[in-house]
């Protein structure tokens, strides 16, 4: 009987790291889905590709410029060659990795309202409520930046 208990403990110890890895993978993917930005004028779809997380605009409250009747363009982009691309479908979030705990980091966020790209990290405002995403863009280090809060759409 004692040998059986020892074997059960050994099997548990061997399997424990694998259950932890699976739990982290699920947690890392909790960010996936569609998010409404703080200004409530865009939906951003966050998806995973090659182990990294990205986000692009899939809905705009006002996708057409009223004065021209044409799609809104990325007119504020610092790169003049990109100013003719539509805002709809624009990549906002690039190259985020999950830190294994509670934060997506080492990515960048593009702000089409001013044409600038910032370093960025994201985390849930409250780990028990995964419907509010804290998005912090910054220059240099995270103390110099701006935080917005996005709400999960679906």
| Structural domain boundaries, residue 41 | 31-152
Helix (H, G, I), strand (E, B) or coil at 4: helix
17, part of any domain: no
What integer pLDDT is reported at residue 2 of this predicted model?
A: 61
Q: Flag whether 133 is in a domain.
A: yes
Q: Cβ distance 146 to 135 under 8 Å? A: no
The CATH number given to whatever domain includes residue 39 is 2.40.128.520
Domain count, the chain: 1
**Global pTM?**
0.80
pLDDT at 11 over 60: no
Quote the distance between the C-alpha of residue 10 and its chain's center.
Answer: 39
Q: Closest Cα partner for 83 from 119, 112, 54, 63?
A: 112
Q: Is residue 5 part of a domain?
A: no
Residue 23 lies in a domain: no
Asked whether residue 106 is assigned to any structural domain, the reply reads: yes
Closest listed residue to residue 122, CA positions, set 99, 143, 98, 104: 104
Give the integer Cα–Cα distance in Å for 79 and 133: 29
């Amino acid at each position: 009987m004692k040998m059986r208990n020892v074997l059960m403990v050994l099997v548990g110890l061997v399997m424990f790291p694998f259950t932890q890895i699976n739990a982290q993978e699920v947690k890392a993917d909790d960010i996936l889905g569609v998010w409404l930005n703080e200004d409530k004028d865009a939906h951003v779809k966050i998806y995973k590709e090659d182990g990294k997380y990205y986000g692009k605009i899939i809905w705009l409250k006002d996708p057409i410029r009223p004065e021209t009747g044409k799609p809104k363009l990325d007119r504020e982009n610092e790169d003049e060659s990109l100013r003719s691309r539509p805002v709809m479908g624009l990549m906002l979030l690039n190259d985020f990795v999950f830190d294994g705990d509670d934060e997506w980091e080492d990515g960048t966020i593009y702000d089409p309202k001013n044409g600038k790209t910032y370093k960025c990290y994201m985390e849930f405002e409250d780990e028990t409520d995964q419907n509010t995403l804290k998005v912090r863009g910054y220059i240099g280090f995270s103390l110099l930046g701006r935080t917005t809060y996005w709400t999960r759409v679906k």
